Amino acid sequence: MLKNVRAGSIVLFHNAAIHTPEALPGIIEALQAEGYIIVPVSELLLQGETRIDNTGRQWAK
């Protein structure tokens, strides 16, 4: 998973997965060590009037 993360990536973890709780701290530490910043999805979404294109990207109108 870590080798596929790029700037702008969104990493989704299912909270019901068996190994998520023990894996998450190490993954977060590794990403932060690479300079990534962990933010909630609400900080990624544009506010106001937007549109979603056919690739799933959100754009301001």
Write down the pTM of the prediction.
Answer: 0.67
What integer is the mean pLDDT of 24-33?
94
* pLDDT for res 48: 93
Q: How confident is the model at residue 11 (pLDDT cuts 50, 70, 90)?
A: confident
* pLDDT for res 2: 87
Adjacent-strand bridge partners of 51: 59
What integer is the mean pLDDT of 28-39?
93
* pLDDT for res 44: 85
